[in-house]
Amino acid sequence: MSGKAGKWFEIIIGTGFFTGYLPIAPATCCSGLTLIIFYFLPKTILLQTLIILFLFFYGVYISGKLERNWGEVDPKRVVIDEMCGMFLSLYLLPWSWRIGIIGFLLFRFFDIIKPFPIRQTQKISRGWGIMIDDVIAALFTNIVLRIVIHFFPKYLCVG
């Protein structure tokens, strides 16, 4: 895509359908919107994998580009990393709203607190640093969710 349509596509996706422009908690709002989008999509391995791969690699590209264009390091308006992180947090897990909400809360916790090694990855330059910290936060979330589901399946409406 080139021209105005390409630029608009980049901004729409890079800012999480404009949630990045919200004045309060843009990353949390984008994560919530992504949870709603996840709910409506078919839960197939292929679709989930393709969405995560697209969001990650396009996210590396577009977040680096928007960072350069806007002249800011890790601009708060860029929230494609949260979109990718939420999808990865719920990747290949059984679906229920309880799991979705717990996944949302865990992902936001890990993304905000940034335990080791998440904080260290922010030193990576451009789009890679923007995306990698959320990917690791999402992996932590997915692992914790798997443990919780294993021990409490009936409380989470699975199994």
Q: How far apart are CA 21 and CA 15, in angstroms?
A: 7
Residue 16's pLDDT is 96
Q: List, for residues 86-123, the tens digit of each pLDDT value.
A: 999 999 999 999 999 999 999 999 999 988 887 777 77
Cα–Cα distance, 136 to 114 (Å, whole number): 9
Task: Give the pLDDT score at 75.
Answer: 84
pLDDT in tens, 16-51: 999 999 999 999 999 999 999 999 999 999 999 999
How many beta carbons lie within 10 A of that of residue 104, not counting itself? 20
The pLDDT tens digits for 116-159 are 887 777 777 778 989 999 999 999 999 999 999 999 888 877 65
pLDDT at 94: 94
Residues 157, 13: Cα–Cα separation, whole Å = 32
- Full-prediction pTM beyond 0.95? no
Question: What residues contact residue 118 under an 8 Å CB cut-off, 6+ apart?
Answer: 110, 111, 133, 136, 137, 140
Cα 14 to Cα 58: distance, rounded to the nearest angstrom: 9
